[in-house]
Structure 1
Amino acid sequence: MRAPTNLNALRAFEAVARHLSYAAAAAELNVTPAAVGQLVRGLEDYLGVELFHRSTSGASRLTLTDAASSALADLQGGFDLLSSAVERLKASKSRITFTVTVPPAFADKWLLWRVERFQRKHPYYDLRIDTSGHLVDFTAERIDVGIRYGDGNWPKLVSTFLLRDEFFPVCSPTLLKGRGALKTPLDLKHHALIHDTSMRESGVFPTWRSWLLHAGVRDGVDTDRGLRLNDSAMSIQTAISGNGVALGRTTLVARDLAEGRLVRPFDAVQTCELAYYLVHRKESSESAAVIAFKDWLLEEVAIG
């Protein structure tokens, strides 16, 4: 088999291995399922190795053989290195699009207003930003780089620490005046508490109850009442509108505080072991796009 055919066959095998489906691989590669099947069978004949177990009972199902499973990661890494080399060759003359997955609130409140600085510094790169909020599969969904909030440990991903938040109440400046004005944490009993439930499953994400205990308030404020929202940016926007007090996070409220849309009525802050991390596949460590985005992001973090 000639080298170009080998490369096409390896591409076909890698796509089928990810999807475990000829049809899905064919859709990705823009060829017919029959063509994909022919390439895979040709590769098996050439190597003298079976790559898939094919079920003949009921619906046709594919599973990887042990030989295929052991080689797949190296093959995918090879394709990543090849793509990176092509990027470097093309970068000086053409635009390169790469995909970044970002939590919606972080994109809205921290990243998007800074992106123009990345574009000025790297005019040949175009970002495609995914803010869907679900935990993506970097390989299956062809994600180049991501920003995640957590403990820094995600299987098969390399993580680089970016930012850690402090948590403290924030509200509209209007709530500092008039009846029920916020002067001490006990004054929170006069206002709606805005609860961010987006990380309620983590077990360590600060809540109104934990912040009040940290501030030395054990009685007098009912932390079960108020408005519950499963979106951090929406919680902050509700506080800006004057409809309650939110438990703000440094990263997400810094700009609103600086521009006067929000104020901090109290000084007490609570920390959290969770943080923002830049993540990517190990095979993407030498990608020119990933390196450029990581270096720029760390510069932005340093600027604050």
Structure 2
Amino acid sequence: MSTPTYLNALRAFEAAARHQSFSAAAEELNVTSAAVGQQVRSLESWLGVTLFTRASSGNTRLVLTDVARAALPDIREGFDRLRVGLARLREVSASAELTVTVSPAFAGKWLLPRLERFQQACPDIDVLLNTNLKTLDFLADNIDIGVRYGAGKWQGLTAIKLMEEELFPVCSPQLSTLTAGQLSMDSLARCTLIHDLSMAGDPGFPTWRTWLDAMGQTAIDASHGLRINNSAAVVQAAIEGQGVALGRSVMVRDDLASGRLIRPFAQVNSPLALAYYVVYRPECEALAKVRAFRDWLLQQAATA
């Protein structure tokens, strides 16, 4: 098997192993499922080992053999190194492309209003912003760097804390239930509560129920209201006067400064266990474009 041929076969094996599926690997590699299967079979024939078994009769999920499972981390690391090497070669060209992953909400409410400053500081770096809602695989999706929201631990990624957050209610200054720009707990009980479902599966993500309980307001019903699965849309709904939202300080900072939102309980702050982190694969720290964007993000957060 020639070098290009076995590299293609290894790539097909790595993708199939990660997805546990020939068809999913084929979609990622933009080839047919049969082509992926043939590449894997060719690799098995050349090595003289079996790489996959079927999970069970009638189940299409692939299961790695012990020898394949043992070899996979080294193969993935090898592809990581190849990508970094190629990126270094491209950095000497007239411009470098930097692929950045962030959530749509973080992009809209924090990053995009500031991104022109990075482009002015580093005009030779072309930013490709990926705002996919799903959590991306940095290797498979060719991601250089990103910002994630969570507890700060993601397998295979370096994570540097960017910003912490506080939580507090926010609403439009034109909300009809306000009295001199303030709400009482009694009036809050009559308001539409806007619920953020963007991280509903994370137990560390606060809800109206947990906030009200922390305030000693166990009698207020938090089961009603408007439910939205995008944090930026939650903020926009509050701006438009559709109710009261739990504002995350990073998400609502600019809207509070502009007067589009106000804090009807001005002195109430709840620190959050979750935070924003700059994340990238450890081997990518050697790339000048990654270091430049990381350092710029940290500087922007420090002066925000």
Partner of 1:134, secondary structure, is coil
Change (3 A) 1:71 1:181: same
**How far is the alpha carbon of 1:93 from its aligned partner?**
1.5
Aligned to 2:119: 119
Change (3 A) 1:4 1:203: closer
Q: Which moved more, 1:41-50 or 1:158-167?
A: 41-50
Aligned to 1:236: 235
Q: Does 1:82 align with 2:82?
A: yes
Residues 182 and 188, structure 1, Cα contact 8 Å, conserved in 2: no
Q: Which moved more, 1:144-153 or 1:11-20?
A: 11-20
The residue identity in structure 2 corresponding to 1:258 is A
Aligned to 2:71: 71
**How far is the alpha carbon of 1:86 from its aligned partner?**
1.8
Aligned-partner Cα distance in 1 for 2:106–2:83:
29
Aligned residues: 302
Change (3 A) 1:184 1:241: closer
Q: Give the greater-gyration-radius structure (CA).
A: 1
Change (3 A) 1:133 1:22: closer
**How far is the alpha carbon of 1:120 from its aligned partner?**
2.7
Residues 97 and 127, structure 2, Cα contact 8 Å, conserved in 1: yes
Aligned to 2:254: 255
Q: Which moved more, 1:45-54 or 1:232-241?
A: 45-54
Partner of 1:67, secondary structure, is helix
Aligned to 1:193: 193
Q: Which moved more, 1:177-186 or 1:7-16?
A: 177-186
Q: Which moved more, 1:17-26 or 1:114-123?
A: 17-26
Gaps of 5+ in 2: none
Aligned to 1:159: 159
TM-score by length of 2: 0.80
* Counterparts of residues 1-304 of structure 1 (less than 5 Å): 1-20=1-20, 25=25, 28-29=28-29, 40=40, 43-44=43-44, 46-53=46-53, 62-175=62-175, 180-186=179-185, 187-215=187-215, 218=217, 221-265=220-264, 266-282=266-282, 284-304=284-304
CA RMSD of aligned residues (A): 3.5
Partner of 1:272, secondary structure, is strand
TM-score by length of 1: 0.80
The residue identity in structure 2 corresponding to 1:237 is Q
Aligned-partner Cα distance in 1 for 2:209–2:49:
60
Residues 97 and 127, structure 1, Cα contact 8 Å, conserved in 2: yes
The residue identity in structure 2 corresponding to 1:103 is S
Aligned-partner Cα distance in 2 for 1:59–1:230:
33
Residues 195 and 245, structure 2, Cα contact 8 Å, conserved in 1: yes
Residues 107 and 131, structure 2, Cα contact 8 Å, conserved in 1: yes
Residues 81 and 287, structure 1, Cα contact 8 Å, conserved in 2: no
Partner of 1:252, secondary structure, is helix
Change (3 A) 1:234 1:25: closer
Post-superposition CA distance 1:148-202 (Å, at most 9, x none): 2222233444322222210112222224x88744435334345333232333433
**How far is the alpha carbon of 1:218 from its aligned partner?**
3.4
Q: Which moved more, 1:164-173 or 1:120-129?
A: 120-129
**How far is the alpha carbon of 1:123 from its aligned partner?**
3.1
